[in-house]
Copies of this chain bind each other. A is one copy, B any other.
Amino acid sequence: MSEERNDREKGRAGAGEPGLFQAPPMAEQERMVEAMLFASAEPLSVAELEARMPMGSDAAEALQHLRRRYEGRGVRLVRVGERWAFRTAPDLGFLMSHEVVETRKLSRAAIETLAIIAYHQPVTRAEIEEIRGVSVSRGTIDQLLELEWIRLGRRRMTPGRPVTFVVTEAFLDHFGLESTRDLPGLKELRAAGLLDSRPLPGGQAEEEEDGAAPGQGEMFDD
């Protein structure tokens, strides 16, 4: 830089030229154009550049040099109508979008549907709805399919031949299970304190638990 500066001083000192002062050397003019285009909020024309540069400067030539200098770089000097501006190289556009991965908890509907599929697979949508007591939205199933935690199983050999859902390898991976048989039964859930919220009155809950085990057995038998 100091060399360039010296050149500049020399350039300026040289008198007796047409202008009152000689224009700075081209390398210096190139620096000027570079800085102006970098800092400007809008593209600048040759005339606008020259209006801000020392007398006798040739912005058009400086632009040509600058354009060549930026060829193949991450930034390019581009012409916008009659004006000039720096723009990011088009092949690097992907850097201008930043992907943010946001981790979100699965919705309650989704996790419950998933749990029912895991415990009762293969299971039809109607069965899921019966167990949950509310209808299952298309979106919930789609989301689980998209996550690749469930997939379509064989069609049920009943009227209408409804599709069934089963969980996938990816599901087992995510939840750290070797097989769905590793899923704890209701008794274990209760023992683990997961069922302690308001047990059903009377013996009914017990009955239900008892019932769950064989049910599950059936479900998971290969």
Residues of chain A touching chain B, judged by Cβ–Cβ distance below 8 Å, are 1, 4-5, 30-36, 38-41, 51-53, 71-75, 86, 88-89, 91-92, 95-99
Contact = CB atoms under 8 A, between A and B. Distances in A.
B38 A95 contact: no
Contact of A40 (B4, B5, B98): B98
A89 to B, nearest CB: 6
Given A40-B99, A52-B95, A86-B38, A74 B32 contact: yes
A36 B96 contact: yes
Nearest to A97: B52
B31 A92 contact: yes
Integer count of this chain's copies in the complex:
2
A88 B52 CA distance: 15
A89 B30 CA distance: 13
B95 A32 contact: yes
A157 to B, nearest CB: 36
Given A5-B91, A91-B5, A35 B75 contact: yes
B73 A31 contact: yes
A38 B91 contact: no
Nearest to A41: B99
Contact of A92 (B35, B41, B99): B35
A75 B32 contact: no
